[in-house]
Structure 1
Amino acid sequence: MELAFSGTSGILIMLFYGVIMLLIGVVTFIRNKKVHSSLEEYYLGGRGFGTLVLFFTFFATQYSGNTVIGYSAEAYRVGYANLVTVPFFIMIILVYLVFAPRMYRLSKKHKIVTPVDFLDMKFKSKAVSILAAILMLYALGNFLLEQLIAIGQGVAGLTGGTVPYQAGVVFFIIIMIVYGWLGGMRSVAYTDTMQGVALLVGVFMLLIGTIIYFGGLPAAGDYIRTYSPENLGVPEGGGLVRWTNFLILVGIGAAVYPNAIQRIFAAKNERTLKRSLTQMAWMPFLTAGVVFVIGILAYTAFPDLSVEESEQIVGMMASAIANQNIIFYIAMIMLFGGIIAAIVSTADSVLLTFSSIISKDIYGRYINKSATDNRKILVGKVIGVLVVGFLLMVAWNPPGTLYQIFVLKLEILVQVAPAIIIGLYWERSHAKSVFVGMLIGALVAAAFTFLSFTPLGIFSGVWGLIINLIIYISGSLLFGKASSESVETDILKVGNSAHSVRG
């Protein structure tokens, strides 16, 4: 008997996962009616996430719909060169471990809610805070647009086109806004846990089904060798420069996503944070590595797809495998739900962080300093919905592939990294130099990207980062003054205090 993995079954799966997400929001609201009483409760879940929930919410932030849908499609298009996705996800974890523990200790003591809170406390500069907020909001808006497009592509591909791209986007946007409004960060984290389990099981079953029914890597390698030999070898020369570019952009840029940093703040304690990040170290192999292999195996399953068609390759493979037997049918249902839930969970965390920056760092800090937390949360919600409406119009006719959109946001976001990471450690950091470096770096990155200008094969964002660092470091050495009451000293005091308590 052939099992149709499309049409009515696809709609039922969408409704099933949608209802679960809504129920999570309702239950979270009922169990924690104080969720809207303070910024910490709404945006950080009361700083009480344990290891398991924190792990899955990090997982959902790092491995979004772009990972499963976009990266497998890119592996299909460029071949083995896309193996770089594994090491650059490892790089993200390494960067986390460099700054996350110190950032957590500081956030715990000073009740920091957003990354801009830290920058405002560190540099005491309105210019630095506003510029950083603008760059973060741009990156978050770009990230949210990417997820909206991924929702449409995922639904269309996984239902064989029965549910139109636009319908899938609208349906899950409504679901996301409702449960996000009800439960805040707690709703986001609990849906992350649900989608993480479904996604991991589904992806591994997709890999097993692909190998069984379409052949393994040797068969795919033979096909590539015959029809696309340029996609078989590892990069050399310019390709290696490109790999290095991605390691810098993704490893550093993705680690300073504002929504990822807020998860650092949400940890129950420092030990919980470190355990979650340690467990995350395995995920590049178990997620990005598996997704890469699936993209390579797709060569023999669906040869000669166009760029637009390849964006739906995961959905096409899942639908084909689901038709083989009942076991894979059930597994692909889990994958379908896991992918969609992963995309929606990433989108809602981005929207939540976007709203937090608007409500606390823009509205609460500069527009209405006397506003209550409840008022700030309401303003953030309303602005967030308006932004989603605007991005929905853009997503209606996507401006490019998911992969291209992903790279674009990192070119700008990575310019905030020096202020956050170096600023966390270096007493001598000079506020004006930080501002000028960040501004010039962002302008260079934007101009080079717009002009498609990559001297020496170095990406525009990396050029911007290099110039940013030169201005920041040289200006701080010339004009910066060490202070015994600096944030760095404060951090060390907090760290020593925590060490003494543990001892």
Structure 2
Amino acid sequence: MTTEIVVFAVLFLIVSGMGFVASRWRRPDDIASLHEWGLGGRNFGTWITWFLVGGDLYTAYTFVAVPALLFGAGATGFFAVPYTVIVYPLVMLVLIRLWSVSHVHGLVTPADFVRARFGSPTLALLVAITGIVATMPYIALQLVGIEAVLKTMGVTGDLPIIIAFAILAAYTYQSGLRAPALIAFVKDSLIYVVILVAIIYIPTQLGGWESIFGAAQAKFEATPAPTDGILLNANNQLQYVTLALGSALALFLYPHSVTGVLASKNRNVIKRNMSALPAYSVLLGLIALLGYMAIAAGVKPIGTDVNTVVPQLFERMFPDWFAGVAFAAVGIGALVPAAIMSIAAANLFTRNIYREYIKRDATDAQEAAASKIASLVVKVGAVLCILLIDPQFSIDLQLIGGVIILQTLPSVALGLFTRWFHRAGLIAGWVAGMTAGMVMLYNIANPATKHAHFGGSAFSLEKLGLDTKMTIYAGFLALIVNLVVAVLGTIIARSAKVADGPDATSETDYTADEGDPRVRDLEVTSST
């Protein structure tokens, strides 16, 4: 146990040191602007972007929660694999258009784009608030990974988590996006090494893959549930498909995903990364199988925290020194996405609340200062989430976050391709979709965690009066409601000749590339 703690602490401190050194890595003459502090100078090449975006999307939560879901429910947990397979070709064309228009106008956030495209500060404010609210529990969930590791090593209490996030806050404040970009190299390398060793070594100690899958099947047959098992069934297939598709649509709507993409130096960097990032899906599939290995190894959760099964598997199967390396991989895997998420949420506050409503004439330096302070506030909020809320419930909040962020799809993703939607219709659609999503989530219970409300994202079709046991992803239904209302609202607004906002972009802005002479700053207008 002592060896594990020492190895974990040493690697954690080395990476933290890299976070502080990152302030001098590729440093410009002046870092006091959101383009430098919040987007790393918009000059990251293919390799840096690969590690940054990959490190951003594949988090500590993924490392412990995906296999934990397989441990508890079986095949349903594999939804994460197909959604990461389809997401990259799905979003490639969207992201290069967003990068181009943001490059031309100096946009920093998705809400910046909505403000420019639809000429509506109100709609931009809704998108900004949605992004912040959806991101907060996601940051808190990174603590779940660290907490699971600490529990396994016998370290209890809240102080270690507070110290870890205090260090994270300090080097993020100093270095901005350069810190997680540099640390991501170490984080991804550690995770690849740990997973490849685990996937090769652990099965040899458990009697091979036939024994592992046999143990998993025996467990689910002994405790049958309508949606559990090593194969999907009629009750959970629709949920699986809609959850995979909905998660794919949501992934790059999160502001931290957009931040990693906007930091790229040109369109080709994005194209190469969207083509290569599916390689991470292979790793994710291997990570998921750790859940079945934990079943075969006879691992039991610590208390009711099923997220501890993977750290316990590592502790049981690996020598102490390598278990420490594995625990460090999980802990460091929390730092990279938490840093990017807090920066992205802070940028939303600064550009779309502070600059729009508090100080419209803010200088670049004032924006950077405001964003630094906001990033600290976001981290404090994330720590409070995990300290004050049952960790099992906080995991449910991640599913809620996906339902929330999906409601920005019509204005952000579709807005990149069409100006047909009226801003009034988009606002009405957002309100309807968000309301529908919250009502459905409120009516989802989770008997396993004893939560009568907000117990997950699998909405029973029985609640709609249908004679079936099938469930569907609540975010998918909420998005349909959003789109229908947005279309009807647009038709009504245009029929009534309601004034629409000005479009500050042009068609050629969406194909601009590095070095384009049309690059210019977007002026903030007073339209409503």
Contact 1:216 1:297 in 2 (8 A): no
Cross-structure match for 1:385 = 376
| 1:336-375 Cα deviation digits (max 9, x unpaired) | 2221111111111111111111122111121011222222
Answering whether residue 467 of structure 2 is matched by residue 476 of structure 1, we say no
Cross-structure match for 1:494 = 512
Segments of 4+ moved more than 6 angstroms: 481-486, 495-498
Cross-structure match for 1:257 = 254
- The alpha carbon displacement at 1:247 in A equals 1.6
Partner residue of 1:407 out of 372, 394, 399: 399
**What is the alpha-carbon distance in structure 2 between the residues aligned to residue 72 and residue 203 of structure 1?**
12
Answering whether residue 268 of structure 2 is matched by residue 271 of structure 1, we say yes
**What is the alpha-carbon distance in structure 2 between the residues aligned to residue 30 and residue 226 of structure 1?**
53
Answering whether residue 431 of structure 2 is matched by residue 431 of structure 1, we say no
- The alpha carbon displacement at 1:318 in A equals 1.2
- The alpha carbon displacement at 1:221 in A equals 2.3
Answering whether residue 79 of structure 2 is matched by residue 79 of structure 1, we say no
Partner residue of 2:107 out of 101, 109, 112: 112
| 1:31-65 Cα deviation digits (max 9, x unpaired) | 62645321100111001101111001111111101
- The alpha carbon displacement at 1:228 in A equals 2.1
Contact 2:32 2:364 in 1 (8 A): yes
Contact 1:77 1:307 in 2 (8 A): no
Contact 1:427 1:487 in 2 (8 A): no
Pairs aligned (count): 484
**What is the alpha-carbon distance in structure 1 between the residues aligned to residue 359 and residue 503 of structure 2?**
29
Q: Specify the code of the residue in structure 2 equivalent to 1:407.
A: L
**What is the alpha-carbon distance in structure 1 between the residues aligned to residue 23 and residue 207 of structure 2?**
45
Partner residue of 1:376 out of 352, 358, 367: 367
**What is the alpha-carbon distance in structure 2 between the residues aligned to residue 385 and residue 187 of structure 1?**
15
- The alpha carbon displacement at 1:497 in A equals 11
**What is the alpha-carbon distance in structure 1 between the residues aligned to residue 30 and residue 48 of structure 2?**
18
**What is the alpha-carbon distance in structure 2 between the residues aligned to residue 426 and residue 432 of structure 1?**
15
Cross-structure match for 1:462 = 476
SS at match of 1:36: coil
Partner residue of 1:359 out of 347, 350, 357: 350
Cross-structure match for 2:231 = 234
Q: Indicate the RMSD between aligned Cα atoms, in angstroms.
A: 2.5
Contact 2:118 2:501 in 1 (8 A): no
Contact 2:119 2:501 in 1 (8 A): no
Q: Specify the code of the residue in structure 2 equivalent to 1:275.
A: R
Contact 2:117 2:503 in 1 (8 A): no
- The alpha carbon displacement at 1:293 in A equals 1.1
Greater shift after overlay, 271-280 or 333-342? 333-342
Contact 1:71 1:403 in 2 (8 A): no
TM-score (norm 2): 0.86
- The alpha carbon displacement at 1:394 in A equals 2.7
- The alpha carbon displacement at 1:119 in A equals 0.6
- Which runs of 5 or more structure 1 residues have no equivalent in the other structure? 1-5, 324-328, 499-503
Contact 1:18 1:175 in 2 (8 A): no
Q: Specify the code of the residue in structure 1 equivalent to 2:77.
A: N
**What is the alpha-carbon distance in structure 2 between the residues aligned to residue 24 and residue 74 of structure 1?**
32
Greater shift after overlay, 331-340 or 364-373? 331-340
| 1:466-486 Cα deviation digits (max 9, x unpaired) | 110112223334545999977
Contact 1:151 1:344 in 2 (8 A): no
Contact 1:104 1:264 in 2 (8 A): yes
Q: Specify the code of the residue in structure 1 equivalent to 2:380.
A: G
| 1:171-198 Cα deviation digits (max 9, x unpaired) | 2101211111111011111111210111
Contact 1:76 1:296 in 2 (8 A): yes
SS at match of 2:361: coil
- Which runs of 5 or more structure 2 residues have no equivalent in the other structure? 446-458, 462-470, 517-528
Cross-structure match for 2:88 = 93
Cross-structure match for 2:291 = 295
- The alpha carbon displacement at 1:411 in A equals 1.0
SS at match of 2:176: helix
SS at match of 1:311: helix
| 1:282-319 Cα deviation digits (max 9, x unpaired) | 2112x210011111111111255477243111111111
**What is the alpha-carbon distance in structure 2 between the residues aligned to residue 165 and residue 280 of structure 1?**
37
Contact 2:109 2:347 in 1 (8 A): yes
- The correspondence of residues 127-166 of structure 1 with structure 2, limited to 5 A, is 127-157=122-152, 159=153, 161=154, 163-164=155-156, 166=158
- The correspondence of residues 45-64 of structure 1 with structure 2, limited to 5 A, is 45-64=40-59
Cross-structure match for 1:281 = 278
**What is the alpha-carbon distance in structure 2 between the residues aligned to residue 490 and residue 476 of structure 1?**
25
**What is the alpha-carbon distance in structure 2 between the residues aligned to residue 138 and residue 52 of structure 1?**
31
**What is the alpha-carbon distance in structure 2 between the residues aligned to residue 80 and residue 105 of structure 1?**
39
Answering whether residue 185 of structure 2 is matched by residue 193 of structure 1, we say yes
Answering whether residue 65 of structure 2 is matched by residue 65 of structure 1, we say no
| 1:94-124 Cα deviation digits (max 9, x unpaired) | 3321301111111111111111110100011
| 1:450-493 Cα deviation digits (max 9, x unpaired) | 22283522333222211101122233345459999774624356
**What is the alpha-carbon distance in structure 2 between the residues aligned to residue 319 and residue 485 of structure 1?**
57
Cross-structure match for 1:125 = 120
Contact 1:48 1:268 in 2 (8 A): yes
Cross-structure match for 1:326 = none
- The alpha carbon displacement at 1:258 in A equals 0.5
**What is the alpha-carbon distance in structure 1 between the residues aligned to residue 54 and residue 337 of structure 2?**
10
Answering whether residue 14 of structure 2 is matched by residue 19 of structure 1, we say yes
Answering whether residue 316 of structure 2 is matched by residue 320 of structure 1, we say yes
**What is the alpha-carbon distance in structure 2 between the residues aligned to residue 210 and residue 397 of structure 1?**
36
**What is the alpha-carbon distance in structure 2 between the residues aligned to residue 68 and residue 398 of structure 1?**
21
Q: Specify the code of the residue in structure 2 equivalent to 1:467.
A: V
| 1:238-267 Cα deviation digits (max 9, x unpaired) | 211111221232111112111111112111
Answering whether residue 206 of structure 2 is matched by residue 218 of structure 1, we say no
Greater shift after overlay, 48-57 or 234-243? 234-243
**What is the alpha-carbon distance in structure 1 between the residues aligned to residue 50 and residue 360 of structure 2?**
35
Cross-structure match for 2:450 = none
TM-score (norm 1): 0.90
Q: Specify the code of the residue in structure 1 equivalent to 2:489.
A: G
Identity of aligned residues (%): 18
Residues 1:377 and 1:69: Cα distance change in structure 2 (over 3 Å) = same
Residues 1:390 and 1:82: Cα distance change in structure 2 (over 3 Å) = closer
Contact 1:153 1:165 in 2 (8 A): no
Answering whether residue 25 of structure 2 is matched by residue 37 of structure 1, we say no
Residues 1:440 and 1:485: Cα distance change in structure 2 (over 3 Å) = closer
Q: Which is helix-richer, 1 or 2?
A: 1
Greater shift after overlay, 395-404 or 464-473? 395-404
**What is the alpha-carbon distance in structure 2 between the residues aligned to residue 154 and residue 95 of structure 1?**
34
| 1:113-161 Cα deviation digits (max 9, x unpaired) | 111110100011121011111111101111111112322123322x2x2
